Amino acid sequence: MMMTIKALKETVGMKAEEENAGSGKNSIISLLILLIVILFLWNCSGRDPSKIVVWTSMRPAEQALLQKHLDKFAEKYPDYTIRQLFYSPEELRNNFIISAIGGSGPAIVHGPNNNIGPWVELDVISGLSMDFEPAFLDSFINHPFSANTWFRDELYQIADRVGNHLCLIYNKDLLPEPPQTMSELICLGSDLMQNGGANGKPVRYAIAWNFTEPFFIVPFISGYGGWIMDEDFQPTLDNKAVIQAGQLILDLIQSHGLMPKECDYEIANALFKDELAAMIINGPWSFATYKENNLNFGVARIPMIDETGLWPAPIVSPRGYSLNKNISGEQRKVAIELIRYLTSNKVMLDFTELSGTIPSRTEAYNSDLIARDDLIQNSIEQLLVGNLSPVVTELQWIYDAMRPAYQGIFTGSLSPHEAAKKMQLSAEKLFRENRQ
């Protein structure tokens, strides 16, 4: 769970007041833990002006390609050490906040645009509008949305790719054509299942995905005509669309038996890679892994919801590079040049060729490589019915509030109706606590 803005500012800034001896002891322990983390992160990145560190959550294949380009860029700057450091998405988000507030952290951080809101509120990233000329910025796509991320009239992220969205990925050897509707998926699913495994479990499932994570239910909420927040970024979770989406996923598991009863991201990925699941809901970041495993796979939109005639709309978020607030002078100039290099058409298309990412610059987006790649074209088809990720802190709060009650649907402790009500109450409570 992401630390609250108030807690971060007070704890890292050492402004918290102790109300009693017990709470004082706990706060000191918490502060010591934070200081240890900050010191560790300082050692990892520090403020050495001759060092440029890039934090990412890229998969191993992409890390290798990124390092190749970092090494190439470093040839122009022999006095600089330029390297990368991997963190999982949540670790990256939180560790960057802690280290940057402490005056440390990487020079550059790569991630989705939904990190921008929290980072701006905490004043840990630097505006970029004065560092890049209009002609450069105009070379990025602006349809169906702007690739680069502006927030509160300032530019905070230069995108190297767009999308980062969920889609249906299917094994062509098991399923030559993907289902177009949920009812078709259910019908096809019974033919794809293979029973007879240990303890009565299927040998092969029709579909698997990380269904217990709130991010993965959002497309289905949209498919039933709902959304998780209103235009004022307030939670909208206690409604028919959320209930129907939860019930649909529960039915796929229990009533139809098409999915494993317990399934996180790694389990789903392993089942699909081992051809023990015919379909998976996952994102373009997984394409490189499936290619490495020599899977014959295709990409399609998540099947349409029959009752509404709507396509499930995943959250779509550009990914790109932001600049640590703490760097300045010559180090900042080199970091800006590195961002410019990493978002060049050539580098973007290298990543596209490796892993099927959708490049953010118009020239690369319109290239022959994109036009002739069926995986990318079908990924773009899913992107076109997606919803652009809100660039606000409230989005993470909604995910955090949803998670316990939403997971209760699958443990049997809550019905979808009860879960929707509890998610809304939890979100409202979390909003009040964080905005006090």
pLDDT digit string (tens) for 363-390?
Answer: 999 999 999 999 999 999 999 999 999 9
Q: Give the model's pLDDT for residue 16.
A: 34
Above pLDDT 70, what percent of the chain?
Answer: 87
Region of 151 (left: φ > 0; alpha: ψ -120 to 50; beta: rest) is beta
**Rounded (10°) CA dihedral 221, 430, 416, 89:** 60
pLDDT digit string (tens) for 150-176?
Answer: 999 999 999 999 988 999 999 999 999
Mean pLDDT for 200-209 is: 86
CATH of domain 45-161+319-388: 3.40.190.10
The answer for residues whose C-beta is within 8 angstroms of residue 307's C-beta and 6 or more apart is 224, 244
pLDDT digit string (tens) for 381-423?
Answer: 999 999 999 999 999 999 999 999 999 999 999 999 999 999 9
For residue 159, report the phi and psi dihedrals to the nearest 5 degrees: -80, 140
What is d(CA 306, CA 339) in angstroms, rounded to the nearest whole number?
44
The answer for residues whose C-beta is within 8 angstroms of residue 272's C-beta and 6 or more apart is 169, 171, 208, 279, 280, 282, 290, 295
Count of CB atoms situated within 10 Å of the CB of 129: 13
pLDDT digit string (tens) for 39-48?
Answer: 555 555 556 7
Above pLDDT 90, what percent of the chain?
Answer: 80
- The amino acid at residue 189 is G
Please give the DSSP secondary-structure letter assigned to residue 324.
Answer: B
Q: Do domains 45-161+319-388 and 167-313+393-434 have the same CATH topology?
A: yes
Domain ranges of the chain: 45-161+319-388, 167-313+393-434
pTM: 0.85
Q: Give the model's pLDDT for residue 285.
A: 87
CATH of domain 167-313+393-434: 3.40.190.10
The answer for residues whose C-beta is within 8 angstroms of residue 368's C-beta and 6 or more apart is none
For residue 407, report the phi and psi dihedrals to the nearest 5 degrees: -65, -25
The answer for residues whose C-beta is within 8 angstroms of residue 109's C-beta and 6 or more apart is 54, 55, 56, 92, 96, 115, 125, 321, 322, 324
